[in-house]
A and B are shown apart, each in its own frame.
Chain A
Amino acid sequence: MNIQLQNLTMAFNNNPPTLKGINTTIKDGQLASLLGPSGCGKSTTLMLLAGLYKPTEGKILFGDKDVTNKEAEHRGIGMVFQNYALYPHLSVLKNIMFPLKMKKVPKAEAIERATKMAKLTQIDHLLDRKPGQLSGGQQQRVAIARALVKEPELLLLDEPLSNLDARLRLEMREEIRRIQLEVGITTIFVTHDQEEALSISDKVILMNDGEIIQEASPLDIYKTPNSIFSATFIGSPPINMIKDGDKILGIRPENLKPTAEANSKFSGTVTYRETIGRDTLIKVKCGENTLNALLETGDIVNFGDTVHLTAEKENIYNFDASTGRRV
């Protein structure tokens, strides 16, 4: 089922709009992430998709059906919340069965479907527990099973990983992708973590200040940012931005390479050096700019050294200093 947002606008109680007329399409079976800093409107978009908020203007289409004025309970979507929102008084099995009970699915069938979902999310050994007796990762899995059990055509995930610790976050990220591919469900994933968005999505929709800045595949959004915002929000360590007349040059740290040739633009002393596993990051003071460069194994550079850095022409992005757009 394709999801279309048309000129979607949302303003709360006469405040300036949180969402300023966004347009996008999410294709059937895709996992799209809504990425952006807090307050950019990504969660609002998700709540509008769920039907929990009503837009001030614009339309939401599921397939070719206009669902803009349909109540949440009739939209037939699955949703996972940031704090999971499991029903604390119900066992894991009953939590997963709850959406089926609401649809008046016969009990035997409901138990069968819930158990199947629990197997898929690997929590079938916890069915009798209460949510309070589960770890964060397990609660997360229950929430996903509950969201998927009625076989919705759209799955919404609201920052589902932000309450987990770093290791579990990586694990659950893969799990969500695995389950999503296995079920083949169209999924929209809200996150403020660019790495999460890049690693899991088919398409990244980057938002800022109530507008869509750029939407592209993870690789494209990383390699061909269309604006300064896009270039700086995505990538870690962050991209180097160097002022050059009325232009700003953007160079990703891994594209800056030490060279033997003296180069007046990018030469300086190493002021910082750290090695994390296979990566070595150096900071080089070049005039008024401090540049980050990721070194390849084999490049030996020490603190205090003078280095010359260079980048391929195709890896230098030019931005207009006044509009912030790529030129």
Chain B
Amino acid sequence: MSDQTTLGQGPLSKTTLYILLSLGSILMLLPFLWMIISSFMTNHELLSINPRVFWPSTFQWNNYYRAMQVAPFGRYFFNSFVVAILGTIGELITTILAAYAFSRMKFWGRDILFAILLATMMVPNEILIIPNFITIANLGWVDRFEALIVPWLASVFSIFLLRQFFLGIPIQLSYAAKVDGCSDFKFLWYVMVPLAKPALITITLLTTISSWNAFLWPLIVTNITEMRTVPVGLAMFRGEAGSQYDLLMAATVLAVLPMFVLYLIMQKYIVAAASRSGLKG
């Protein structure tokens, strides 16, 4: 007999588990809920001494329209979309090519090069910001899309993730593909990439989300309003609009929305990928 107790065993511990999980999700959801509710209130309601925390007296849909008017959020969204989409596509391309080279091609110094690449992961991003900024400034890229996109076109973490996935694909498949008339590139495109779909979806999600949420770098390399991304725009708006929390909340809801939609679309792939990984390759 084992004296181990497993979570979820028996009705009592199951109840405990659900209570804990519910508390956790309430803790996670409450700020979001508050944000959404607040975005529909008037600033007066928000700041009153007896705030109507849970429901606005009337839904101020107008807040969203006004928020878009007081700052060029349309432009911010456009910038953020351009940066996120081009950055993600670019990163996927470099990641696929590099991961293939590091997992399947034989060239001199490959493993040492990969080790060096991995070592760069130990360097905190904050240290890189100054040299990166100097480079960008020397290239004359300040206040240009290049500055927002190019430095993030390759990610060591993504390369590492995909390389490990590629290594798990049996070598016989590459032999078979060669015999069937594939060059390295065709094999990569027709066999490896479709097989690595779960890993590629993970990379796409992580890259898009971090690009969308990036704050410090866009803040440093953009000075003019037209080049701000959504997070920078929001921060500036907070400074410029002072205490207009209703508009700030409305703008924030809009900023979160695209990632929320992206997650909804990708969710089924994420679940599918997780369940598939349990089966034998």
Q: Give Cα A186 to B190, complex, Å.
A: 29
Q: Give Cα A146 to B173, complex, Å.
A: 13
**Interface assignment of A89: CB less than 8 Å from any CB of chain B:** yes
**Interface assignment of A81: CB less than 8 Å from any CB of chain B:** yes
**Interface assignment of B259: CB less than 8 Å from any CB of chain A:** no
Question: Chain A interface: which of B69-77, B175-183, B202-210?
Answer: B175-183
Chain B residues with CB under 8 A of A86: 176
Q: Give Cα A147 to B172, complex, Å.
A: 14
**Interface assignment of B191: CB less than 8 Å from any CB of chain A:** yes
Q: Give Cα A72 to B176, complex, Å.
A: 10
> Interface size on B (CB < 8 Å)?
19
Question: Chain B interface: which of A16-24, A98-106, A215-223, A226-234?
Answer: A98-106
Q: Kindly identify which residue among A52, A82, A88, A99 contacts B180, using a CB–CB cutoff of 8 Å.
A: A99
Q: Kindly identify which residue among A52, A81, A87, A103 contacts B181, using a CB–CB cutoff of 8 Å.
A: A103
**Interface assignment of A79: CB less than 8 Å from any CB of chain B:** yes
**Interface assignment of B239: CB less than 8 Å from any CB of chain A:** no
Chain A residues with CB under 8 A of B10: none
Residue of A nearest to B196 (CB): A89
**Interface assignment of B110: CB less than 8 Å from any CB of chain A:** no
Q: Give Cα A82 to B173, complex, Å.
A: 11
Instruction: Give 9 A-B contacts (CB < 8 Å), ordered by A residue.
Output: A73-B179, A73-B180, A76-B181, A77-B179, A87-B176, A89-B194, A89-B197, A99-B181, A150-B180
**Interface assignment of B186: CB less than 8 Å from any CB of chain A:** yes
Establish whether residues B195 and A50, one from each chain, have CB atoms under 8 Å apart when the complex forms: no
Q: Give Cα A74 to B281, complex, Å.
A: 29
Establish whether residues A73 and B170, one from each chain, have CB atoms under 8 Å apart when the complex forms: no
Shortest CB–CB separation between residue B186 and chain A, in angstroms? 7
Bitwise interface map of B from 184 to 198 toward A, beta carbon under 8 Å scored 1, else 0: 001000110011010
Establish whether residues A88 and B281, one from each chain, have CB atoms under 8 Å apart when the complex forms: yes
Known: A85-B175, A88-B195, A89-B195. A98 touches B180 (CB 8 A): yes
**Interface assignment of A138: CB less than 8 Å from any CB of chain B:** no
Q: Kindly identify which residue among B175, B183, B186, B197 contacts A81, using a CB–CB cutoff of 8 Å.
A: B175
Q: Give Cα A78 to B178, complex, Å.
A: 10
Residue of A nearest to B194 (CB): A89
Establish whether residues B195 and A150, one from each chain, have CB atoms under 8 Å apart when the complex forms: no
Chain A residues with CB under 8 A of B170: 83, 85
Establish whether residues B172 and A72, one from each chain, have CB atoms under 8 Å apart when the complex forms: no
Q: Give Cα A86 to B281, complex, Å.
A: 12
Shortest CB–CB separation between residue A67 and chain B, in angstroms? 13
Establish whether residues B181 and A50, one from each chain, have CB atoms under 8 Å apart when the complex forms: no
Q: Give Cα A75 to B170, complex, Å.
A: 22
Chain B residues with CB under 8 A of A51: 178-179
Establish whether residues B191 and A78, one from each chain, have CB atoms under 8 Å apart when the complex forms: no
Bitwise interface map of B from 7 to 22 toward A, beta carbon under 8 Å scored 1, else 0: 0000000000000000
